[in-house]
A and B are shown apart, each in its own frame.
Chain A
Amino acid sequence: MQSNLVDFIQVLRSHDIRVSPAETLDAVGVTTTLGYSDRNLLRDGLAMTLAKTPAEEVIFLDCFDRFFQQDLADFSSAEMSDPQDENNDTDATDDTAAQTEDLSTNQLSALELAAQNNPSLESLLQTPLMENLLNNNRNELTLAIKAAAQQVDLQQIQMFTQKGQFTRRILDAMGEEQIRNAVIELEKSESPGLAVLQRYRDILRQQVRDYVEREYLLHAEGKTQQFMDDILSKTRLNNIEHIYLHKVHELIRKMAKKLASRHSHKRRRLKRGQLNMAKTLRKGIPNDGVMFNTFWRQVKKEKPQILAVCDVSGSVAAYSKFLLLFLYSLQDILPKVRSFAFSSHLGEVSAYFDDYPVEKAIELVNWKYGGATDYGNSLMDFSKLALDDINSNTTVIILGDARNNNGDPKLDILKSIFQRARQVIWLNPESRRAWGSGDSEMLRYQSACHFSAECNNLKQLERIVDQLLKSTR
């Protein structure tokens, strides 16, 4: 049962619930305390150790039901028999009612009769698989399916396209091939036992298919999601199809939240002082132990400030949406972020981000500041708006391709920003090789940046932001 529990925890992990080894131990503790007799009790108990938010609890309950509600495979016959289907055995694969039909004694004997003058069929009937099928031994068959599944590593299933493949492999591992061969042989000899054997084969196939389907839902659904996220975060931003935009938004939000929780606590410092008794005493010694002065433990609080500037011109149109999305998330995470957008002129857009939901804000910014690029002019606007606020605590992030339509780059302004600020970071969506080609001023601007990087997919963005947050804390 413990290995079962570990399997279950694997499933939870694939559904985005983070379970640490310590929590696994806790879960084992819970199961030994509560026992397995009361299912609901066990579910509540495990939920308390494994799911840490209400949202996770919903996922947990879902997984729990799927995982522990694996019924025994149903090979039963009798009750549900339907005379029409009995005559129509070719449809049996699709029709569950047909599978569960009773095999009357004479049908069974037909099979045995056929076996009498067919040694290979006879040996087939002796195999444990066929015996279990004939005797409707559900427990044994369920176990056999499970064992076969383990043998072919069904838990590794990733995509729905693999379902057929895995079904085939499990059937092979169970020795279904023999049945298949026997069916072909009976077909040749047009034996009356053919229909019966075919039905057994179909019942088995259907059961294995169902089992694979269940396991797929359990193990792969979460993985497919992760796989999609992974792919999206590595794709160049301008190649991401429009329909995936909302997914990317989700992803950025997820990323932002992760970064926020990792970094936000470092921002805060002790606000109030505490009497530093040792120092007060020590400083009192020269005064004969009389403490004239009190000394306080205090940590100086440092407030990082970030100014983010984003190019929204036509040449980076495909990126700007993501960059703005990123800015929007950034403003959520960090306390003092001012956002600016420009193409031919520059303006502050922090207010839009604060006031409107993300889609509306991006639309407004694009509408207001979109156009042809003029870095020189925009830098001048920027220095007018914000240069006075830039000090040794300020980080300036510039997002843009540095393609200036051959205008004056006004490098001196960026230089003055560079000298004042603690950090100037330039994120360029173009690949490093294209920097400096054509009207790109990147190589010149680069000289006035503490850090410049290529940034055209979410993975890179995440890495850079992580670095940034580390240095601004």
Chain B
Amino acid sequence: MHTQHFPQLDSVELIEQGFESFGYICSRKIATAVFLAFQLRKPVLIEGPPGVGKTELAKTISLLLETPLIRLQCYEGLDEAKALYEWKYGKQLLYTQVLKEKLGDLLQGATGLAESVAKLHQFGDIFYSEEFLEPRPLLKAMQQEKGAILLIDEVDKSDYEFESLLLEILSDYQISIPEIGTVKARTTPMVFLTSNNTRDISDALKRRCLHLYIPFPTVELEERIIRSRVPNVSEQLRHQLVGFVHSLRQLDLKKAPAISETIDWARSLILLHADQLEEELVRSTLNVLLKYEEDIETTDSELRNLLSSNSSDTRTA
């Protein structure tokens, strides 16, 4: 097992710049996490509300390092046959058929049962061997010659058993297959786990990871993100819409709008040729930002207040 060196990850500043060139504007903390993850060879457990760019982070790193991204989406009932490896049953069956047909040739000259069995033992047992192994995402990540970015998405959706399955991979970068032995990673992959906090992750798993919490961004950071993602929004509109989204997040909403929603909204406002926020416009496009009927209703009644306080902010600023 060896580790690949990436000059792109030599310092926190370089990482920030690298991400920016791929349109991913990140806070210092995120860049630090990536830097540490690479230097210390530790997985990163990313937590935070949906839509703040947890998955995007892993994707951007894969672009930056030009290494393949191997993604494992977790769900309830995910087991080792889908995450680690599976035997190629069909081929194994064919093999037994072939073996049966060839058995006569192979045992030629053997007299008596004991001798035949002894002869049979001389052949390598390939029934359980790597040739019949179907690698699933986790094993595939270990097998990559040039390293890989392994993204284990929404690990909180998986079962507790699955978590323990991950422990060996996360701390030693190896997988134990009972029939074969231990498969070590050819090159240590960079592992990212994301969690939406729907349940507590076990301490054993947490202990093995760097813990990165990505909160909603600050106004300043979000404006930079919008500028990079939706470059043709005017400065004034960008300022207004980010301010509005931030005031929305203060309300008691079922699901507060995240960065991805802000980006979508900015794009739709461009399509509607808006150059500033007007009440009617906001009302009709609110469904881009808010995904629950109740949230839209709550916001609807507050809309005028939100917009007026927001615009006065803009003026004073």
Which residues does A use to contact B, with CB under 8 Å? 18, 20, 22-23, 26, 29-30, 33-34, 40-41, 44-45, 47-49, 51-54, 57, 261, 264-265, 268, 270-272, 274-275, 277, 281, 289, 291
Measured CA separation A34–B39 after assembly (Å): 10
Contact among A48, A271, A274, A281 with B211 in the assembled complex (CB-CB below 8 Å): A48
Contact among B42, B100, B207 with A20 in the assembled complex (CB-CB below 8 Å): B207
Contacts of A57 in B (CB 8 A): 213
B212 touches A (CB below 8 Å): yes
In the complex, how many angstroms separate the beta carbon of B47 from the nearest chain A beta carbon?
7
Contact among B29, B77, B212 with A272 in the assembled complex (CB-CB below 8 Å): B77
Query: Do A44 and B28 touch across chains, with their CB atoms under 8 A apart?
Result: yes
B160 touches A (CB below 8 Å): yes
Query: Do A271 and B77 touch across chains, with their CB atoms under 8 A apart?
Result: yes
Measured CA separation A277–B212 after assembly (Å): 41
The interface-forming segment of B62-70, B198-206, B301-309 is: B198-206
Query: Do A289 and B96 touch across chains, with their CB atoms under 8 A apart?
Result: yes
Contacts of A34 in B (CB 8 A): 32, 36
Contacts of B275 in A (CB 8 A): none
Of all A-B residue pairs in the complex, the 4 with the closest CB atoms, nearest first, are A265-B160, A48-B210, A52-B206, A33-B39
Q: Mark B96-114, 1 if CB is under 8 A from A, else 0.
A: 1100100000000000000
Query: Do A48 and B36 touch across chains, with their CB atoms under 8 A apart?
Result: yes
In the complex formed, the residue of A with least CB distance to B87 is A277
Q: Give 24 CB contacts A-B under 8 Å.
A: A23-B207, A26-B40, A26-B42, A29-B40, A30-B40, A33-B39, A34-B36, A44-B29, A44-B32, A47-B211, A48-B36, A48-B44, A48-B210, A48-B212, A49-B211, A52-B207, A54-B213, A57-B213, A261-B200, A261-B202, A274-B81, A275-B89, A289-B100, A291-B93
Measured CA separation A268–B202 after assembly (Å): 14
In the complex, how many angstroms separate the beta carbon of B113 from the nearest chain A beta carbon?
16
Query: Do B47 and A54 touch across chains, with their CB atoms under 8 A apart?
Result: yes
Query: Do A41 and B32 touch across chains, with their CB atoms under 8 A apart?
Result: yes
In the complex, how many angstroms separate the beta carbon of A192 from the nearest chain B beta carbon?
58
B294 touches A (CB below 8 Å): no
Q: Mark B202-231, 1 if CB is under 8 A from A, else 0.
A: 110011001111010000000000000000
Query: Do A265 and B79 touch across chains, with their CB atoms under 8 A apart?
Result: no
Measured CA separation A454–B35 after assembly (Å): 55
Q: In terms of DSSP, what is the predominant structure of the interface of chain B?
A: helix
Other A-B contacts than A34-B36, A52-B206, 16 sampled, CB-CB below 8 A, are: A22-B207, A33-B35, A33-B40, A45-B32, A54-B215, A57-B213, A261-B200, A261-B203, A265-B160, A268-B160, A270-B79, A274-B81, A277-B89, A277-B92, A289-B100, A291-B93
Query: Do B42 and A51 touch across chains, with their CB atoms under 8 A apart?
Result: no
Contacts of B161 in A (CB 8 A): 265, 268, 270
In the complex formed, the residue of B with least CB distance to A284 is B96
In the complex, how many angstroms separate the beta carbon of B32 from the nearest chain A beta carbon?
5
Measured CA separation A57–B33 after assembly (Å): 14
B297 touches A (CB below 8 Å): no
In the complex, how many angstroms separate the beta carbon of B154 from the nearest chain A beta carbon?
17
Query: Do A48 and B89 touch across chains, with their CB atoms under 8 A apart?
Result: no
Q: Name B31-59 residues within 8 Å CB distance of A.
A: 32-33, 35-36, 39-40, 42, 44, 47
B168 touches A (CB below 8 Å): no
Contacts of B32 in A (CB 8 A): 34, 41, 44-45, 48
Known: A52-B211, A261-B200. A40 touches B28 (CB 8 A): yes
Contacts of B28 in A (CB 8 A): 40-41, 44
In the complex formed, the residue of B with least CB distance to A267 is B160
B12 touches A (CB below 8 Å): yes
Contacts of A52 in B (CB 8 A): 203, 206-207, 211
B279 touches A (CB below 8 Å): no
Query: Do A265 and B202 touch across chains, with their CB atoms under 8 A apart?
Result: yes
B159 touches A (CB below 8 Å): yes
Contacts of A271 in B (CB 8 A): 77
Contacts of B79 in A (CB 8 A): 270, 272, 274
In the complex, how many angstroms separate the beta carbon of A126 from the nearest chain B beta carbon?
51
Query: Do B89 and A51 touch across chains, with their CB atoms under 8 A apart?
Result: no
Contacts of B213 in A (CB 8 A): 54, 57
Contacts of A22 in B (CB 8 A): 207
Measured CA separation A22–B204 after assembly (Å): 11
Measured CA separation A41–B34 after assembly (Å): 12
Query: Do A18 and B40 touch across chains, with their CB atoms under 8 A apart?
Result: no
Measured CA separation A52–B46 after assembly (Å): 10
Query: Do B40 and A268 touch across chains, with their CB atoms under 8 A apart?
Result: no
Contacts of B200 in A (CB 8 A): 261
In the complex formed, the residue of B with least CB distance to A280 is B89
Contacts of B77 in A (CB 8 A): 271-272
Measured CA separation A62–B141 after assembly (Å): 39
Query: Do A18 and B160 touch across chains, with their CB atoms under 8 A apart?
Result: no
Q: Which of A49, A52, A270, A272 has the most CB of B within 10 A?
A: A52
In the complex formed, the residue of A with least CB distance to B212 is A48
Query: Do A268 and B159 touch across chains, with their CB atoms under 8 A apart?
Result: yes
Q: Mark B7-37, 1 if CB is under 8 A from A, else 0.
A: 0000010000000000000001100110110
In the complex, how many angstroms separate the beta carbon of A267 from the nearest chain B beta carbon?
9
In the complex formed, the residue of B with least CB distance to A272 is B77
Measured CA separation A289–B47 after assembly (Å): 51
Measured CA separation A268–B160 after assembly (Å): 8
In the complex formed, the residue of B with least CB distance to A18 is B203
Measured CA separation A44–B89 after assembly (Å): 49
In the complex formed, the residue of A with least CB distance to B92 is A277
Contacts of A49 in B (CB 8 A): 210-211
Measured CA separation A51–B209 after assembly (Å): 11
Known: A261-B200, A272-B77. A30 touches B96 (CB 8 A): no
In the complex formed, the residue of B with least CB distance to A54 is B213
Contacts of B89 in A (CB 8 A): 275, 277
Contacts of A265 in B (CB 8 A): 160-161, 202
Contacts of A26 in B (CB 8 A): 40, 42
In the complex, how many angstroms separate the beta carbon of B37 from the nearest chain A beta carbon?
9
In the complex, how many angstroms separate the beta carbon of A45 from the nearest chain B beta carbon?
6
In the complex, how many angstroms separate the beta carbon of A132 from the nearest chain B beta carbon?
40
In the complex, how many angstroms separate the beta carbon of A53 from the nearest chain B beta carbon?
8
Measured CA separation A47–B211 after assembly (Å): 8
Measured CA separation A20–B209 after assembly (Å): 13
